[in-house]
Amino acid sequence: MQILQWTKLDAKAQQQALARSPLIGDDSVEQTVRDIINAVVKNGDQALTLFNQKFDGVEVDTLGLTEQQVNAACARVSDEVKQAIAVASENIERFHQAQTFSPIDVETQPGIRCELRSEAIENVGLYIPGGSAPLISTVMMLALPAKIAGCQQRVLVSPPPINDAIVYAAKVCGITEIYQVGGAQAIAALAFGTESIPQVDKIFGPGNRFVTEAKRLVSQDGRCSVSIDMPAGPSEVLVIADKDAEPAFVAADLLSQAEHGPDSQVMLVTESMALAEKVNMALESQLKTLSRSDIAAQALSCSRSIIVNDIEQAALVSNLYGPEHLIIQTNNPRAVLKQVRGAGSVFLGAYTPESVGDYASGTNHVLPTYGYSRSVSSLSLADFSRRFTVQELSAQGLQSLGETVMVLAENELLDAHKQAVAIRLNSL
């Protein structure tokens, strides 16, 4: 990777050093995705079938998997994979079960009761990337929180042909509706509904830049009222490492994200030029062993190492970047953690590779990218519910608060608001 010295860069060069891959923000993507969405809205299942043939080279008899197809797919999954799914799902379920919401019930003053409640989003759509890297783990990351939250209808979509282990994981996690469609067209189907695929209230799941753009567009489309989890597109990682970090470990973590796709990005921020050079050597050596080396190499071409004065400055650079994944491989990683202000998920110490969070530690791997981690949270149980407030006043409560409300309403020139209080007070 290119090595840059942070303090020798002017403000513009520093901004460029933290810029995402040029593949992101391609002006042609928006129009392409708009055309796909409009085709699905107009032609429904017929459009989905055509896009399956065009983008995935697959023709399916029915978009929805039958019970027989699900059972056949599950039978083809090895016992080893089933056991791995069992362990991972148990950890994910335990961590997310602990996030169960506790209602808040407060008397703000005598006779005035205010509550904060939560209820599950009724219909959710779960997008599972497939293609060259079928994300089996994403099934668990989405389906288990949706089940724990109590979402009644949980619809899963994934590009055809759907990997058998994806189908098995879906069944284990309580998914009964599985549809063979991916890409922007799948997002459009979930947002607007088709003859086969039901319309949902919220869409979850990561994807490439076309999926990410489709999620953005449908969430802003006045023709539907669907919401999305977050901007979750091409993967990225930033590693903060000190001079004592193991170069092979750092290189392995960088490559684990680079192999996701050519538009992924990986960054190393370190105080040590010697470490950066050793990491580059380790990258070159490890890259040769990867089955997806061509993809990883493309991602590395838009990635870089940044040399800073000290680890405190490394934390500052990381906060400016706002990584999806932040790995801290330093002698005292928890000290650095106190300085972190923007990261989707943080991995501490030499023996915590990002891979454990991707699969089985229990945390969720659906995370904000593009720097949104400075303001957007990682996926959690709360995302599958909506929170709402309740208030109840007694006559005494309204008498004590009424004058305050009427004064404020009058000064906002909202006479009906004032009258709604006054007419009740006059009846007492």
Q: Are residues 130 and 151 in the same domain?
A: yes
Is 280 part of a structural domain of the chain?
yes
- Claim to verify: residue 398 and residue 335 sit in the same structural domain: no
Q: Report which residue type is found at 279.
A: V
- Point out the residues of the chain with pLDDT beneath 70: 21-26, 132, 233
CATH number at residue 254: 3.40.50.1980
Q: Are residues 264 and 204 in the same domain?
A: no
372 assigned to some structural domain:
no
Indicate the burial class of 338 (C-beta count within 10 angstroms; 0-12, 13-18, 19 or more): exposed
Within-domain flag for 150: yes
State residue 334's pLDDT score.
Answer: 98
Q: Spot the catalytic one: 236, 259, 271, 324.
A: 324
pLDDT digits (tens, 9 = 90+) for 237-253: 999 999 999 999 999 99
Whether residue 145 is found in the same domain as residue 208: yes
Q: Which of 175, 199, 231 is the last residue of a domain?
A: 231
Is 314 among the domain residues?
yes
Closest by CA position to 365, among listed 385, 346, 390: 346
Q: What percent of the chain has pLDDT over 70?
A: 98
Marked catalytic residue, from 96, 259, 271, 325: 325
Do 227 and 240 lie in one domain? The reply is: no
Pair 203, 295 in one domain: no
Quick check: is 369 in a domain? no
Looking at residue 58, its amino acid is: V
pLDDT, tens digit (0-9, with 9 covering 90-100), for 40-59: 999 999 999 999 999 999 99
Active site residue 324: yes
**Within this chain, do residues 192 and 268 fall inside the same structural domain, yes or no?**
no
Same-domain status, 167 and 202: yes
Q: Please confirm, yes or no, whether 354 is among the known catalytic residues.
A: no
The phi and psi torsions of 312 (rounded to 5 degrees) equal: -60, -40
Task: Mark which of 231, 255, 281 sits at the end of a domain.
Answer: 231
- The answer to whether residue 169 is domain-embedded is yes
In-domain check, residue 180: yes
**pLDDT for residue 235:** 87
Q: Are residues 164 and 289 in the same domain?
A: no
In this structure, is residue 375 part of a structural domain? no
**Are 202 and 342 in the same domain?**
no
Please give the pLDDT value at position 127: 97
Its domain, for residue 404, covers 394-425
In the beta sheet, which residues pair with residue 388?
117
Same domain (yes/no): 239, 326: yes
Same domain for 329 and 219: no
Using one digit for the tens of pLDDT, what is the confidence trace for 282-302?
A: 999 999 999 999 999 999 998
CA distance 155 to 42: 21
Domain ends where: 231, 249, 279? 231
**pLDDT given at position 234:** 78
- Count of structural domains within the chain: 3
pTM of the model: 0.92
